[in-house]
Amino acid sequence: MTVTVVPDEGAAFEVEVKTRDIAAWERSTGKAFSHLDEDMKLDDMYELAYAAAVRLKLYDGTVEDFKLTTDIEFKGEDESPKAAGTRKAR
């Protein structure tokens, strides 16, 4: 799943949420990624984008600061989180 992060200050950047980001999110929240299609909250999507941005060393603040100082945009309007996380490699 590709997410564009638009900070209040600075240039926008893209992150690709990978399986390791999803696994880290599952461990930190106790939630299952497979349940996002049933009960998706924007807060969850912020946390996934944050995990990817930190992994890529594009953001070094807290997750709360990330949520307060960025907007996020998803690539592919028809791309559900479940489908994005299970897409086969090309």
pTM over 0.85: no
Q: What is the pLDDT of residues 29-84, one digit of tens each?
A: 888 888 877 877 889 999 999 999 999 999 999 999 999 999 999 885 445 444 44
**Nearest-CA neighbor of 27 among 37, 19, 38, 16?**
19
Residue type, 85: G
Q: What is the model's pLDDT at position 23? A: 93
Helix (H, G, I), strand (E, B) or coil at 57: coil
Token code pair at residue 76 = 């592919």
Q: Mean pLDDT over residues 14-38, rounded?
A: 89
Residue 16, H or E segment: strand 13-16
Q: Is the pLDDT of residue 2 over 70?
A: yes
Q: Is the pLDDT of residue 7 over 80?
A: yes
CA–CA dist 49, 52 (Å, integer): 5
- The count of other CB atoms within 10 Å of the CB of residue 89 is 3
